[in-house]
Structure 1
Amino acid sequence: MADDATTTARDYRETVFLPDTPFPMRGGLPKKEPEILEGWAALSDKGLYGAVRAARQAANAPLFVLHDGPPYANGAIHIGHALNKTLKDFVVRSRFALGYDVDYVPGWDCHGLPIEWKIEEEFRAKGRRKDEVPAAEFRKRCREYAAGWIEAQKVEFQRLGVLGDWWNRYATMDYSSEATIVAEFHKFATSGQLYRGSKPVMWSPVERTALADAEIEYHDHVSPTVWVKFPVKAYDEDRYAVSGNEAGDNVFRLPPNDASVVIWTTTPWTIPANRAISFGPKVAYGLYEVEAMEENLEFAPWSKVGDRLIVADKLAEDVRKAAKVASWRRAEPVDPTGLICAHPLAQFDEGYGFDVPLLAGEHVTDDAGTGFVHTAPGHGADDYLVWLKSGYALDAIPDTVDPDGAYFPHVPLFAGLKVIETEGKKAGKFGPANGAVMDKLIEAGNLLARGRVEHSYPHSWRSKAPVIFRNTPQWFIRMDQAVPSLGGKTLRETAVQAIADTAFHPDAGRNRIGSMVETRPDWLISRQRAWGTPLAMFVDKETGLPLMDEAVNRRILDAIQDGGSDAWFELPDSHFLGDRDPAQYEKVVDILDVWFDSGSTHAFTLEGRNDSRSPADLYLEGSDQHRGWFQSSLLESCGTRGRAPYKGVLTHGFTQDENGEKMSKSKGNTVEPQTITKESGAEILRLWAAMVDYSEDQRIGKTILATTTDAYRKLRNTTRYLLGALAGFDEAERVTDYADFPPLEKYILHRLWELDAQVKAAYEAYRFSDVIRPLIDFCQGDLSALFFDIRKDSLYCDAPTALRRRAYRTVLDYVFERLTVWLSPLTSFTMEEAWTTRFPDAGSNVLRVMPETPAAWRNDAEAARWAKVETVTSVVTAALEVERREKRIGSALEAAPLVHIADPDLLAAFDGVDAAEVFRTSQATLVAGQASGAFAVDEVKGVAVEPKLAEGRKCARSWRILPEVGTDPRYPELSLRDAEAVAWWDSVHAV
């Protein structure tokens, strides 16, 4: 267009074919997205999701099943929820776009402690303790609370654009779900995989329930440490074996009645429960006699000259320093086999007058402590196992600590003292038990030393309070018993094989869950709480075995199906037992581990439906679910069906702040998805999720979101240009013969062919960043910087009938057709807006399937050509930039570069290509050979540029400077090309 209207007899601006589109440059996403959501909701009785499923089913599309891992229904969604659900939406939408019929039913986990606590708090605020509230009222309030958050979270997830069958969502607290969960539990019972065992389990006194491994996390904790003397009493002739050292000397043999075995522990409160001491069969031990104590101490040490202490040789020096012993001598080697000690508190109460045997245990090492492990079989897994392995009775394991974390009344010296506080401001803190035990050990003269140590200590995943090992009757699912229904394999073997048969994304997840399953203990499934699905069964009081009566189980399931789990607790036993005598049976009132609930979701969400199937194609959750939902689902399905409930597992990392730190409200570094949606739009959050490597921990914050917004702006501008440049395009204008496309258009078609394969492969493998990043690069590089920039002159100034312009617009149409569907799963709102702007009557963009890209578009030679063309162009552009900076030219259109090209291949690349058009100059000349003194860049050898000025007059319409301007008498201010275009325009607009 002319820049000086006074030089022309006519204003040619109206004849220039400028892009035209109502698609705004600014997205206005916070306002626009809800409008799009309303349009989607109106497409069917199940909104856009239902409309797409119906279309795919009508086309007999293959089924793809994504099973939703249930979030917990107890609060507004956070950034982790947003990432997870957005990734799932990428899967759903991309599979739709790839031509699948996708089943995705969102669901919620509703039972468990967090909700139970919240309701306890509500009642306490009204002056009512939990035990004062009728169970039915309490459970009803829990159900109402969860239902409210399901609806709230549903709205928040849908605002993110997440597609799914929200109309048939599942919840673990639905009556039908609870009935199926109980039915799954019954399958374990009838197959012989269920047993009740009294053994030490992780117990939360604050929550008053047992916890499974998946509910435990470890935090640094400072614990008291004690070195305790157990006086040697005698030896057991049946167990004791005299051995010798390498010199042939006999080992120390009883009796010296003044020797003591020294143990070290970080849990002094377990000393009342001690029943043995474990030693390592491969550890060398010695008897050490104290010769001198350290002097000038601020306190009197508990050891004294003449003490005879038995410890591991490797740890003797550590023990000496802890006891403030200045010197001692190793009197004899010791074989602990068969030694019998007295309990260190025996002198105070006859309740501690039992023998304390020394037991060989492979778990004992000489890495730390004293080489001896104080063994309380009711408070430790290794302690429990070594006790039973050594031939001692199960009923000899004492119960010392009650469900509230206090010593039982029968515990001598310490009855009622709290190990863990469970009430008031100190709830979750260690109580007075440790201190009281240490005081008694001092009084008995059997505390050798004490200190403090910071170490990793187990805490409840939910309450964050410390837990203890506590002996209690619980229900377990066996991991290592051969099961006939599993073909004689164990549950562990079945699960390990299922892991091998599953595809993991990333594959490292296989080893992670595999190592956990290979080493995990039996599955603890019972909990002593109120809000959950019950272990709905009866136990024969005489045999202690579960009652497996099909008619009884049927009545149980029917009652729960009709009235939910409340029916189990509220209906009389006779309702379920029928003709059986209720007095002969114990009704189990424990509830199931919530992981069993969620592990059963495949049974009531996927199975029994015509439009779904099991196993699912994919489970997708955070990497922590290898120990959680992935694993519980695996074990539940393997135990009842002999296979995993999934074919593939995808995991994502955790979202951190911009500094890589864990988000915390107390730190003030959280990023709320609701804030992003309100201020910038959900599209920005979706684009962020698409761009990150979700398999690792990701970061988010203001700076990162600003970068994401900038990337979005570039995508939107590309989309807007396409819409404007395609205004009025119709089939009559399309170039249909590939041979008619100019080289540049052939190159862009080749790039579409390349991207088509890349995009589809990346979506198939759930590599969303490998979709968005190449497409952003394509938009910024191949399109904006090359294709659009070169062809804008043709678009604006060629006559609409010109082949070059028609070819350009035809390729733009192919680009638009593919970009809008390729990007639809990721930037769903924007691509929907773009598609419906251009085709308002064509239906939703999401209904489309990715088109096949013709193999004929592949053109490796054209791709190689344009790599060479752009190499030369980079030198020309650099030369013209110098000319502009030195103010010798104002724009590239004033130039006519003379380009010297020494490489014949580079020169040949311009065959059939208008060099001036490529360089964005008015004229250009290419010559073979070298040139001295011309502009060159070190990175490109053999290319030099003489930046000459263009000759001729400036076209009043295109601004190109050409000698031909003025040669057409009809339009003396125009070039010949522009004159033809204006003549066409005038003929069309003639009155």
Structure 2
Amino acid sequence: MTDDYSKTLFLPKTDFPMRAGLPEKEPQIVARWQDMDLYRRLREDAAGREKFVLHDGPPYANGNIHIGHALNKVLKDVITRSFQMRGYDSNYVPGWDCHGLPIEWKIEEQYRARGLNKDEVPINEFRQECREFAAHWIAVQGEEFQRLGVVGDFKNPYTTMAFHAEARIAGELLKFATSGQLYRGSKPVMWSVVERTALAEAEVEYQDYESDTIWVKFRVANGSGDLSSASVVIWTTTPWTIPGNRAVAYSPRVAYGLYEVASAENDFGPQPGETLIFAQNLSADAAQKAKLTLNLIRSVSADELEAIQLSHPLKGLGGGYEFTVPMLPGDHVTDDAGTGFVHTAPSHGREDFDAWIDAAAALCAANIDTTIPFPVDDAGFYTKDAPGFGPDREGGAARVIDDNGKKGDANKAVIEALIAHDALFARGRLKHQYPHSWRSKKPVIFRNTPQWFVSMDKDLGDDTTLRSRALSAIDATRFVPSAGQTRLRAMIAERPDWVLSRQRAWGVPIAIFVSENGEILKDEAVNQRILDAFEAEGADAWFAEGARDRFLGSRANEPWTMVKDILDVWFDSGSTHAFTLEDRPDLKWPADVYLEGSDQHRGWFHSSLLESCGTRGRAPYNAVVTHGFTLDEQGRKMSKSLGNTVVPQDVMKQSGADILRLWVMTTDYWEDQRLGKTILQTNVDSYRKLRNTVRWMLGTLAHDAGDEVALADMPELERLMLHRLSELDALVRAGYDGFDFKRIAKSLLDFMNVELSAFYFDVRKDALYCEPQSSVKRKAALQTVRHLFECLVKWWAPMLPFTTEEAWLDRNPDAQSVHLTQFPEIPGEWRDAELAAKWQKIRQVRRVVTGALEIARAEKRIGSSLEAVVAVSVADAELAKLIETVDLAEIAITSGIELVVGDGPADAFRLDDAPGISAVVLRAEEKGLTRCARSWRWTNDIGSDPAFPDVSARDAVALHEFKKLHRL
């Protein structure tokens, strides 16, 4: 025994590897979870508990997952796991959005590659190919989500293309129809020429775009006095909308003036002597654009503007534009830019349309035709409602945008016509934010076209409207972060009616019949036949041969027309609460929480809110949590062209899913986050420290016999650690409740690194390794490590499911899964604030001692801290008395402490933030101490037991117990 005392120590012993090998280990754990059907086991264990439901916002089934998907699914998985481990039945049902243009495009591309024409293929054959495409990617993404560690009902997810889902979506639409909220109207909508369909605000993003800008003269047609020969000047960034002009808007709040051209240096435009009307704040800027000098004649009042009418600047072209152009007051008019007048084309803008409709009665009274024209068709060509630019134009109709999203010749044609009619004041170019299709990334246009809408402001019979219901629901919803509430509220308050119709093929049809005058057929029997067919055959039933007569039945001879438009896919996803939360008995309605990216304030959060408020009067969720977007390490948007994308599959292959999950847990996910090689390496380093702490606990617990020491009999240090567990338990539970994962992760990492590895474990290694097996201190320490392990592994389990599963099964080889356990219940008696306050002071003294030891080691006066005896001076007598109640030598890991009350010598070590405390390091051998051959502590009782002449008395007792235990 004296040859190798290390064999008598209780050193850590574990098979839990230091090197994680997560890329190899994690797929094995996923396979184990699937083999044991962990998801089903979780449901069985949670049977009868209160339900907690996070409803999954459906990703689109058209490609491999990206880093945004990974962030999103990890957050959802952490939430569902954390509630499951806190006593809820927290069931996660993944879902997919399957209809819509991106999938349709992919199939069209395949057709074009084979020389086929989509329009020559039966529609339901085309739809079946779309369905198969979506099914393929659902399977791929499902595997990728599970590889991230996500546990859910992947065997039975919800999809918007399931027959039952299509039937329910159609049924939700019919609720809007029968309640009178659905109507067919002609309004300007955002239109994608490239995709040949209307778009909702949620399907549009704003990108930099260079537009032609023009200043146009509208001559006064009926003015008197000095206004009779003047021109009102407007400014626009869409020259192609001039043929659609029907009015000019002004603001009573803006100061206007009548100006005379004093001089001009231009090839076209105003000449000396002409009179023009501008906002006074903008006249100088306008003059500069046209290379003019202007003289102010006088101010022009709002009453004068209201009284005049204008001539269209293209009057006489193609025999059109002979109508009067009225002046309309408008709240949207400012003198921030332009001329202070706004060109109003009700066919091409929401504000223009609203201003025209608001003025309709007065316009009719003035014998002005209020008909809104259709100047541009679905392919971006001018129609007959744009005389001189449409089919009557030599060479054919001009075009605003072509099939590739490029500018057509419309702007050029309009500008040339304005010059020819002496109506162009100036021209230029402007880079600005312009709406583009979210999918094609091509610019859109605003065009008047008949579409199906849901009214935001129709009285629903209970003194509410869809808008008022939605605003009330927002006020009743919890938002994390809270700014999301303000954002969504502003969107709902200002949004136009919801345009539901799309002119495509792959989706749920607007399954209604209409008369010639737009009346919707409201027949319960017809509706039920539609829904029954969709339930059995899917929405393809609407497009099948003979569908009209089948659904109308005895009314087939009546003049009802089938609507062939399909629904906005946001209506599909906005209806998922109906066919998932309501229809699945393992879920509940409303959901406890929806979680998605912040862009979904205008997307899924938005459409779900409107759909549910329109049919049920409230939101389908109680809380909304939003995350930001993932940028690269320089804060730039990730893109393939920049080569700065982080692919989650690559991260999992190189480092493991738990590394990716740790990044998610330690980032401010409520804001935009950053990710790259350096940040990933930081998380690898943090994970390595965490894993080594878990490994040390497992190794130490290999010697745990399960002994229990009463709390009152435990040393203070163990009671302090139990107090800290009590504090952390409250923090962890509050963090999971508040979806504040960074706070949890940071607190646990700090606790493990600073309070355990660098303090408690460091201090207790001597007792755990060297104390006799019968030692109460050692038993209490083992008991405490046992509690630490159980708490930490379970608290981390929702965040790091693979590592915690591996550790739990290493400790409990007969267990099923850590994820089938509950968070530990912490006894109230563990909380001891008074003890914690005392040890805060003790650790302040310890900091000074360890600081002195570090310098002594650096100066090579000592090697190990056990080679030192430290003289500690404490000026505060009360603090000195407190220090005497503990073994400071043990706590500071030295072989002795000499405590004196006083200031200490001038050359003693001190810390600025620990006044009145100093330390001087002495060598233990200089104090007459000898090193123990077993524990390496320097003591004055070496050889006190003749049986073991080279060890301390404490270690001799341990050796006698060891001999007896092993019968040596």
User: Into which bin does the TM-score normalised by the smaller protein fall?
Assistant: over 0.9
Amino acid at match of 2:61: A
| Alpha-carbon spacing, 1:791–1:285, altered in 2? closer, same or farther (3 Å) | closer
Q: In the TM superposition, what are the counterparts of 1:357-396 in structure 2 within 5 Å?
A: 357-391=326-360, 392=363, 396=371
Between the aligned partners of 1:495 and 1:37, the Cα distance in structure 2 is: 41
SS at match of 2:155: helix
Q: CA offsets per residue over residues 431-473 of structure 1, 9 Å max, x none?
A: 0000011111111222121111222211112211111111111
Cross-structure match for 2:699:
724
Aligned: 1:158 with 2:146: yes
| Alpha-carbon spacing, 1:272–1:17, altered in 2? closer, same or farther (3 Å) | same
Between the aligned partners of 1:349 and 1:987, the Cα distance in structure 2 is: 115
Cross-structure match for 1:50:
40
CA positional deviation for 1:905: 3.1
Cross-structure match for 1:303:
270
Amino acid at match of 2:669: Y
CA positional deviation for 1:582: 4.5
Between the aligned partners of 2:411 and 2:626, the Cα distance in structure 1 is: 42
Aligned: 1:176 with 2:156: no
Cα contact 1:421–1:428 (8 A) shared by 2: yes
Cα contact 2:255–2:299 (8 A) shared by 1: no
| Alpha-carbon spacing, 1:578–1:790, altered in 2? closer, same or farther (3 Å) | same
Between the aligned partners of 1:313 and 1:827, the Cα distance in structure 2 is: 64
Cα contact 1:866–1:909 (8 A) shared by 2: no
CA positional deviation for 1:273: 1.6
Cross-structure match for 2:285:
318
Q: CA offsets per residue over residues 404-455 of structure 1, 9 Å max, x none?
A: 01112563221243444333xxx11110000011111111222121111222
Q: Identity of counterpart residues, as a percentage?
A: 54
| Alpha-carbon spacing, 1:229–1:794, altered in 2? closer, same or farther (3 Å) | same
Amino acid at match of 2:240: W
Between the aligned partners of 1:620 and 1:828, the Cα distance in structure 2 is: 20
Cross-structure match for 1:760:
733
Cα contact 1:934–1:945 (8 A) shared by 2: no
CA positional deviation for 1:123: 0.8
Q: Which moved more, 1:101-110 or 1:312-321?
A: 312-321
CA positional deviation for 1:9: 5.3
Aligned: 1:20 with 2:13: yes
Cross-structure match for 1:243:
none
Q: In the TM superposition, what are the counterparts of 1:789-804 in structure 2 within 5 Å?
A: 789-804=762-777
Cross-structure match for 2:524:
550
Aligned: 1:703 with 2:674: no
Cα contact 1:417–1:431 (8 A) shared by 2: no
Cross-structure match for 2:572:
597
Q: 2:415 aligns with which of 425, 434, 438?
A: 438
CA positional deviation for 1:720: 0.4
Cα contact 2:398–2:413 (8 A) shared by 1: no
Between the aligned partners of 1:587 and 1:776, the Cα distance in structure 2 is: 62
Q: 1:459 aligns with which of 419, 436, 452?
A: 436
Aligned: 1:856 with 2:829: yes
Cα contact 1:539–1:585 (8 A) shared by 2: yes
Cα contact 2:910–2:919 (8 A) shared by 1: no
SS at match of 1:944: strand
| Alpha-carbon spacing, 1:618–1:332, altered in 2? closer, same or farther (3 Å) | closer
Cα contact 2:53–2:91 (8 A) shared by 1: yes
Cα contact 2:268–2:419 (8 A) shared by 1: no
Q: 2:816 aligns with which of 831, 840, 843?
A: 843
CA positional deviation for 1:362: 2.9
Q: 2:646 aligns with which of 671, 695, 702?
A: 671
Cα contact 1:420–1:428 (8 A) shared by 2: no
Q: CA offsets per residue over residues 529-569 of structure 1, 9 Å max, x none?
A: 1111110000022x421101000000111111111111101
Cross-structure match for 1:71:
59
SS at match of 1:909: helix
Cross-structure match for 2:234:
263
Between the aligned partners of 2:719 and 2:704, the Cα distance in structure 1 is: 19
Cross-structure match for 2:393:
none
Q: Which moved more, 1:743-752 or 1:905-914?
A: 905-914
Cross-structure match for 2:200:
212
CA positional deviation for 1:714: 0.7
Cα contact 1:915–1:925 (8 A) shared by 2: no
CA positional deviation for 1:583: 5.0
Q: In the TM superposition, what are the counterparts of 1:918-937 in structure 2 within 5 Å?
A: 918-937=891-910
CA positional deviation for 1:769: 1.1
Cross-structure match for 1:526:
501
CA positional deviation for 1:331: 6.1
Cross-structure match for 1:686:
661
Q: Runs of 4 or more off by more than 6 Å in structure 1?
A: none
SS at match of 1:734: coil
CA positional deviation for 1:956: 1.3
Cα contact 2:170–2:509 (8 A) shared by 1: yes
| Alpha-carbon spacing, 1:362–1:861, altered in 2? closer, same or farther (3 Å) | closer
Aligned: 1:899 with 2:872: yes
Cross-structure match for 1:33:
26
Q: In the TM superposition, what are the counterparts of 1:341-420 in structure 2 within 5 Å?
A: 341-391=310-360, 392=363, 396-409=371-384, 411-415=386-390, 416-420=396-400
Q: CA offsets per residue over residues 263-304 of structure 1, 9 Å max, x none?
A: 22211111112222222234343333323223xxxx623322
Aligned: 1:139 with 2:116: no
Q: In the TM superposition, what are the counterparts of 1:467-506 in structure 2 within 5 Å?
A: 467-484=444-461, 487-506=462-481
Q: CA offsets per residue over residues 559-616 of structure 1, 9 Å max, x none?
A: 1111111110114211000111355111111111111100000000111332211000
Amino acid at match of 1:913: V
Alignment gaps of 5+ in structure 2:
391-395
Cα contact 1:292–1:328 (8 A) shared by 2: no
Aligned: 1:829 with 2:817: no
Amino acid at match of 2:468: E
Aligned: 1:570 with 2:547: no
| Alpha-carbon spacing, 1:226–1:264, altered in 2? closer, same or farther (3 Å) | same
TM-score, normalised via structure 2 length: 0.96
Between the aligned partners of 2:232 and 2:853, the Cα distance in structure 1 is: 89
Between the aligned partners of 1:163 and 1:953, the Cα distance in structure 2 is: 58
Q: Which moved more, 1:337-346 or 1:830-839?
A: 337-346
Q: 1:337 aligns with which of 306, 329, 332?
A: 306
| Alpha-carbon spacing, 1:418–1:98, altered in 2? closer, same or farther (3 Å) | farther
Between the aligned partners of 1:196 and 1:777, the Cα distance in structure 2 is: 60
SS at match of 2:934: coil
Q: In the TM superposition, what are the counterparts of 1:43-122 in structure 2 within 5 Å?
A: 43=36, 47-57=37-47, 60-122=48-110
Amino acid at match of 2:428: G
Aligned: 1:189 with 2:184: no
CA RMSD of aligned residues (A): 1.8
Q: CA offsets per residue over residues 62-89 of structure 1, 9 Å max, x none?
A: 1101100000111111101000000000
Q: In the TM superposition, what are the counterparts of 1:638-649 in structure 2 within 5 Å?
A: 638-649=613-624
Between the aligned partners of 1:148 and 1:498, the Cα distance in structure 2 is: 37
Q: 1:985 aligns with which of 940, 962, 967?
A: 962
Aligned: 1:964 with 2:935: no
Between the aligned partners of 2:851 and 2:293, the Cα distance in structure 1 is: 81
Q: 2:757 aligns with which of 767, 784, 800?
A: 784
CA positional deviation for 1:718: 0.6
CA positional deviation for 1:361: 2.7
Between the aligned partners of 2:859 and 2:213, the Cα distance in structure 1 is: 79
Between the aligned partners of 2:197 and 2:943, the Cα distance in structure 1 is: 94
Q: 2:489 aligns with which of 490, 509, 514?
A: 514
Cross-structure match for 1:240:
none
TM-score, normalised via structure 1 length: 0.93
SS at match of 2:214: strand
Alignment gaps of 5+ in structure 1:
1-7, 236-251
SS at match of 1:357: strand
Aligned: 1:280 with 2:243: no
SS at match of 1:105: coil
Q: 1:914 aligns with which of 887, 899, 911?
A: 887
Q: CA offsets per residue over residues 934-979 of structure 1, 9 Å max, x none?
A: 5131422222223222223221111112221112111111111111
